[in-house]
Chain A
Amino acid sequence: METFLALLTYFAYFFIILLYTVKLIKYLRMPVHLRWELYPVIDEGEFEEEKNWIEKPRKKRYLKGFLFLLKDYFTLFDYAKNNFPYWLGIYPWHMGFILIIIFHILCFFGGLSIVKGIGVSYDSEAFIGRFLYLAILLTGVISFLAGIFGSVVVALNRILNRNLRDYASIQNFFTYFFTFVVFFTGFYSWFFTDPHFFEYREFWVGLLTGRFRDVSFWTKIHIIAFDFFLIYLPFTRSLHYITRFFAFFLIRWDDEPNIRGSKLEKRLTEVLKRRISWSAPHVQKGSSWSDVARFIP
């Protein structure tokens, strides 16, 4: 059983990383597009408010943009401001996700510490051992509680609010149920069988060393549920966690002007050579974009 559990976990991580990577590569390989920014452009400002702006130096402050988005990850401020009842469900639900990811990263480091001979417990001699123990405990417990609450409230919101219900799919409700199972089994396992997450850390030691460890029934159920959830995630819209950054940096805040002789201009010169197959009467089907642009119908 322990071998199955370990192999399933390896596979789940490998699968989600692979599919997310494929999806992200597909996204990033799309050609350069026309400017379609929306203001305020947080990482820059409004340079077109200036006379002769093209002659003036422009500076992108990517860190500012990144921090803006990061802040929103941890607050979901737009929802809190514009639809508080919705935020009441969506916020704990998302916090559940964020914290369970941090929990697993910490478990990985916890396992690594144990492999390196540093005990992870509340009375560990090493500070890092005590820190990891506490951080794993807090992130795990808060994640499970927030996730359980969030899954229920989000599902109720989708059912009770007509605006949301009419646009909801069966998959939405399946996802809420699935996340509830993941968080609930995690909570149950922690509360009744593994209050210090000792088993979980040992499980990670097994994953890191290849000497797989068995765990109790409820921890096993939680690990299986979580693994299947990881396998399921690429088939949902969950990648919005990452593509949101792309949408802001590559679309909404992408105000890079086309300066003569720039790399951007070279890329644009290339895409303008692409041939079009649109077939309305005013279009010269089969011509390149640059030829079509110079044609007067």
Chain B
Amino acid sequence: MRIEDISKKSEILLKLKKEDFMPLPHPYEKGDLEPEIRDLTEEQLKKIEASLDGISGVGLKKPETKEEENELIRKFLSGLEKLLSPDDNWTFLMPFYHSLEYCVKCQLCSDYCPIYLSSGKKEIYRPTFRAEILRRITERYVKKKKRLTRLISVGDIELNWQTVARLAELAYRCTLCRRCAKVCPLGVDNGLITHEIRKLFSQEMGIAPRELHELGTIQQLKVGSSTGITSRALSNIIEFMEEDIEEKTGRKIKIPVDKEGAEILLLHNAGEFLSWPENTEAFAILFDIAGIDWTLSSELVGYDAVNYGVWYDDIQLARIATRHAEIAKKLKVKKISLGECGHAHKAMIVIADRILVGDLNIPRESAIPLLRELVLSGKLKLDPRRNNFPVTLHDPCNMVRLMGIVKPQREILRRICPDFREMEPHGVDNYCCGGGSGFAIMQSMNFPDWRNSISGRMKLKQILEVFSDVISPEVKKYVCAPCSNCKGQLRDLFNYFGVNKRCGIFYGGLAELIVNALADLKRPFIDWEWH
């Protein structure tokens, strides 16, 4: 496979076979417990572009006429020019320019990419592959270098519909975990190049996976949440949570909503309310015991911390972050605190930091250091023996490598989990869960198969390895993942490989473990029910 093959008019560039993938440890070493990646149907293949690797994540429709094809190519080039413009792309121009100009193609990054390694080192997944395609297109079509100069300096490439279509898909074969960037001695960031390609497609061509755009950011801004939860539905959910808390713990808690002047506006990923209400309940229990002055918001967008814009579109990112800040301003809270959601942390605390100015510039921070304070301060009566089962910690990339929140969650787990064990590598060198950058919510066609087989493979390997001495399903084990998207991915990954049934491995958040360790609970808070 060579760079210029991206323009080939073949049906498919790479046929994925599970025999090629990185081997997994026991009990998956033989490969017979692993499902095959499903092929797209004939009907789907007629309409949908999947000539990269037979997978469709973007759901890109094939153009019907030559004119339509040419128009897409023209728009692609116009978008590429805008990526290099200080007005259109002040947001990332410097890092983008640096990564485009100064890569020496030493390939040090390749062996740090979990997708490249998991796939069995398939060339199209190499971190430098898509970057090199974009670099060559830029040299030829934007900088308009002569053929001889191009051939000498970078190599050539043909920009046709195949190139554009495959590049659109290729931008969704990287989780933006930025492990590749961390190892680059020259500061080149191939993850960022992926991000910029996604942005070009979204901001100029209106092309993005439906789950991220229409059902994601657009729905969040219109309905209030990417989950589809409305304000009214939220009040029902909160009522349910209050009842559930009382039933589980005997505590009668009134969850504060829209409380003006509260110290903290707590933003949860709305996925928690729907799929893992025990996490939001755990926060409510802990904040109630500690006497924290906090509130949730029931305003449109205010009850969903997610900001999918961070993965593919700066404009949508800015809109959601602005909306969150406006709600906090209206409620006159002192600060915004982010619950267990990695990308929401990164989007609101770090990236949006340079979008929110003036009275929208409200202090924002992670809830994890606050949880650490509660655990270590003695405000909570804790009995670690209640968490007497093997626990490991999954580090969400956005929170750790991309934000530097490494120690607080570990200090908590060391205090409350006697059998806490670290995966290798961990901390800032962690591996992505495989659902990063929107993958966890991309559920259409055969993309989930690809995600579970390839992008989540390294994480599964790590989890199986860390529990290898207690791998029997009779021993209940807990993967603590303080991030909604990571939990969503672990749920899908474990279902795909039957991990819960075969190995007794569960997943959940951090706050639940803290509540589970409360000394005065009559029964365990963690019920080990698979969901």
Contact = CB atoms under 8 A, between A and B. Distances in A.
Given A49-B406, A51-B373, A169-B154, A251 B102 contact: no
A293 interface: yes
Contacts of B405: 46, 48-49
Given A174-B152, A247-B187, A38 B401 contact: yes
B319 A293 contact: yes
B82 A51 contact: no
A53 B361 contact: no
B428 A164 contact: no
A24 B180 CA distance: 25
B369 A237 contact: no
Contact of A82 (B111, B351, B370): B111
B355 A40 contact: no
B315 interface: yes
A293 B355 contact: yes
Interface string B365-408: 11001100100000000000000000000000000111111111
A297 B88 CA distance: 19
Nearest to A252: B187
B430 to A, nearest CB: 11
B108 interface: yes
B32 to A, nearest CB: 32
Interface string B99-115: 00111111110110000
Interface string A154-193: 0000000001101111110010000000000000000000
B249 interface: no
Interface centre among A76, A248, A265, A277 (most CB of B within 10 A): A277
Given A240-B186, A269-B357, A277-B87, A293 B318 contact: yes
Interface in B98-146: 98, 101-108, 110-111, 123, 128, 132
Contact of A48 (B103, B192, B366): B366
A248 B322 contact: no
B221 interface: yes
Contacts of A251: 94-95, 98, 187, 189
A34 B132 contact: no
A39 B406 contact: yes
Nearest to B319: A293
A118 B189 CA distance: 50
B425 interface: no
A72 interface: yes
Interface in B182-240: 182-183, 185-189, 192, 202-206, 213, 218, 221-222
Given A39-B400, A237-B103, A240-B102, 9 more contacts: A37-B404, A38-B178, A38-B182, A52-B335, A166-B3, A237-B101, A258-B361, A276-B87, A283-B315
6 contacts: A53-B369, A237-B101, A243-B187, A258-B361, A264-B354, A282-B316
